[in-house]
Structure 1
């Protein structure tokens, strides 16, 4: 009998096993959630559809992922499917996954072309998954502009919960569900309400999570939402999670200790970007709490690109800056087909020289030149590739300093 009481006592300390689930009618396949769309479309439209679910085209990081995708689509469609891999050249290290987590260097299943001495059968930037013979379950590249395929979207699994907004192990509760829908609050009052509901003001740890929050507010007509960050010499999330993702637009006047997400485009900030603002006054806000056992939730750290990249090719997102010694530089920026590049200069002082942005658009070369001092210099590309030239007219007396951040956006963002 004593052993039974001990067992019952121990059981009270064992956390309940959380039910892992998928939202939005996605199907759990391995450790991710997938959804097949059988209407053939362009790679660009497929990627945009996935973004509406705060996801991306399916990624395949190992043999198990490849096999599970075959099992998932094999009985549902005879059409080949787009996958979330984009190749900038024939080097697999430059074939990047749409989720921003690595390249095809670790694993790929391209159809081989031994006669040409490389693993690609032909070469185009966009990659699709072959359904049916020949080459069933293998990957081929295709012309992004003209071909149409079915596609599979991917979102992360989460824990079963009755909250309406459930993403990647967390529940999100907008302020209108907690207080009067016409009311907004100051930082301390908003955080107190979140804590009373077992959460904190929102922290954001990936581009897809940022898009998830933005998607919710898309049709509500609000200008901004308060984030759960404290701004001092450094940035801190109020829920004590890692600061491993940032979407701050440093071109605005950085006065204040609060952080907001812009929900609309305006003259000073772009939709979805974050900006520093005073904490005075009232704000719309959103709370975030764990959906299930928080010990099971893991937020991966994101490896950030180094700040100086003179005469290099930069892919997807990152930072580049003025050279540390006198020289002219060219920075080549590329992103996925169907996306554009947004550049924000966090610091811009260019004397005895200039910066020129060059891109090819509809068969013509488009150039824009910038110099002097500019606190709010931003640029959005017309295509998915451009060059930034830094030209110093007097190398012996170079007196320029700039720091720029760039990231990939869809045309409507």
Structure 2
């Protein structure tokens, strides 16, 4: 009984948190998920490649905790579903061998019926949920090809922001704004629209781009800084999700990346080539971000003083040295600039000045005394 009340309280809290979120395209908001039912019977393999993916860019519903399990179960019951596919697959009878369809790795939560998972052959590792009687919310595994079940499709919910009510393409807290031009133009255009050239941070987002943005080639907001390493324009770490084509035949001297809609891979491209791009604009109110203690932070970018001592490693593609412009600086503030070998190059003590680095890497340090704001750009941006 105590667990029931804990679940109920958390459900109420979760629904309150979701009041600033919504769904589109006929989806229903459940906690922070957008869900839609496909109630005809389908084998699991079809469900994974159905309109859920090709039309919406979604996945089978994924369940990560008891709160979500209860909410999804109640949603399914309200839609008169009996047993339905969920986004999980098991390779053996051990729950540690069960993985989520959203590419988040092994399941951290499960709610299998007693005796499950029971994997007797490779094809029956697909997971479904029961909704009837005392077993409602429990999971079992079924044959992926021979079992025909309903399924629930999931998308991230959309943050409500009246300023972007006309944005056509929204996903997981961002508006995707289309443009056309080379990388220099794309960076400038996106900054003017409070965003950055699109980065892709997960397989789910990659699927969304492939099936929802429906543009054959899309310039990505990544530039090469070393032989096999790139930096995202929005400052997110490179490598958390990397979907480059392993047999990319484009010239190795090309420093930008382009998304290929046909297969979802990223390939090398010429930064000066004019092509389609998307600005990725946060829908939540912008929070001041000092980017304190960042490494491989791609210019153009803005940095500012944090709550204490901070360092920044600013980078641009190899051919372009960095210039840093100091737009604001309080009295008594000192910012130290170091070259790629960590040799002190300059101390900055006032605003309205800039410094031209000699290479594509500039290290910046602030001891936490005073405050400042600065903008870093590639030197090709000079007027």
Category of TM-score, reference length = shorter chain: 0.5 to 0.7
Q: Separation in 2 of the partners of 1:120 and 1:276?
A: 43
Alpha-carbon distance between aligned partners in 2 of 1:136 and 1:185, rounded to the nearest angstrom? 53
- Unaligned 5+ runs, structure 2: 1-17, 290-383
Residue 188 of structure 1 is aligned with which of 172, 184, 195?
184
Structure with greater helix share of residues: 2
Residue 194 of structure 1 and its aligned partner are, at CA, apart by 1.4
Q: Report the counterpart of residue 164 of structure 1 in structure 2.
A: 168
Asked whether 1:279 is paired with 2:281, we answer: no
Q: Structure 1, residues 311-339: CA drift from partner, whole Å, max 9, x if none?
A: xxxxxxxxxxxxxxxxxxxxxxxxxxxxx
Post-superposition offset of 1:126? 0.7
Instruction: Say whether 1:120 aligns with 2:117.
Output: yes
Query: Are the aligned partners of 1:32 and 1:155 in contact in 2 as well (CA < 8 Å)?
Result: yes
- Give the match for residue 285 of structure 2: 293
Separation in structure 1 between the aligned mates of residue 118 and residue 270 of structure 2, nearest angstrom: 55
Contact in 2 for aligned 1:126/1:143 (Cα 8 Å): yes
Give the corresponding residue for 1:236. Answer: 231
**CA deviation digits over 1:207-229, x for unaligned, max 9?**
111121121343x5x4x111111
Tell whether 2:96 aligns with 1:93: yes
Q: How many residues align?
A: 258
CA distance 1:217–1:71, shift in 2 (3 Å): closer
Counterpart of 2:177 in structure 1 is 173
Shift of 1:278: 2.3
Counterparts in 2 of 1:140 and 1:246: CA distance versus 1, 3 Å: same
Q: Which of the numbers 42, 51, 55 marks the counterpart of 2:53?
A: 51
Q: TM-score normalised to the size of structure 2?
A: 0.63
**Helix, strand or coil at the partner of 2:26:** coil
The runs of 5 or more residues in structure 1 that have no matched partner are: 1-16, 114-118, 176-183, 265-270, 298-413
Compute the displacement of 1:134 (Å): 5.8
Q: Secondary structure at the match of 2:145?
A: coil
In structure 2, the CA distance between the partners of 1:210 and 1:78, relative to structure 1 (3 Å rule), is closer
1:54 to partner: Cα distance: 2.0
From the superposition, tell whether residues 141 and 250 of structure 1 become closer, same or farther in structure 2 (CA, over 3 Å).
closer
For 1:60, the equivalent position in structure 2 comes to 63
1:227 alignment partner in structure 2: 220
| Cα distance in structure 2, aligned partners of 1:135 and 1:185 | 56
Secondary structure class of the residue paired with 2:176: strand
Cα distance in 1, alignment partners of residues 131 and 257 from structure 2 = 46
1:88–1:56 CA distance, 2 compared to 1 (3 A): same
In the alignment, is residue 32 of structure 1 matched against residue 33 of structure 2? yes
Which of the numbers 207, 212, 222 marks the counterpart of 1:216? 212
Q: CA offsets per residue over residues 8-33 of structure 1, 9 Å max, x none?
A: xxxxxxxxx98222232221212222
The match for 1:83 is 86
8 Å contact from structure 1 (residues 111, 121) kept in 2: no
* 4+ aligned runs moved over 3 Å, structure 1: 119-123, 294-297
Deviation of 1:154 (Å)? 1.3
TM-score (norm 1): 0.59
CA–CA separation in structure 2 for the residues paired with 1:78 and 1:280:
53
3-state SS of the aligned residue for 2:258? Answer: strand
User: Aligned equivalents of 2:197 and 2:253: distance in 1?
Assistant: 21
Assess, with a 3 A threshold, how the Cα gap between structure 1 residues 108 and 217 changes in structure 2: closer, same or farther: closer
Alignment of 1:94-113 (within 5 A): 94-104=97-107, 106-113=108-115
- RMSD over equivalenced CA pairs, Å: 2.3
Q: Distance in 2 between the 1:169 and 1:125 partners? A: 33
Residue 85 to residue 250, structure 1, CA distance change in 2 (3 Å):
closer
Q: Is the 8 A contact 1:254 1:277 kept in 2?
A: no
1: CA distance between counterparts of 2:265 and 2:37? Answer: 30
Q: Structure 1 CA distance, aligned partners of 2:32 and 2:156? A: 8
Cα distance, 1:141 vs. partner? 0.8
Does the 8 Å CA contact 2:57/2:210 hold for their aligned counterparts?
Answer: no
Contact 2:197/2:278 (CA < 8 Å) preserved in 1?
A: yes
CA distance in 2, matches of 1:295, 1:86: 38
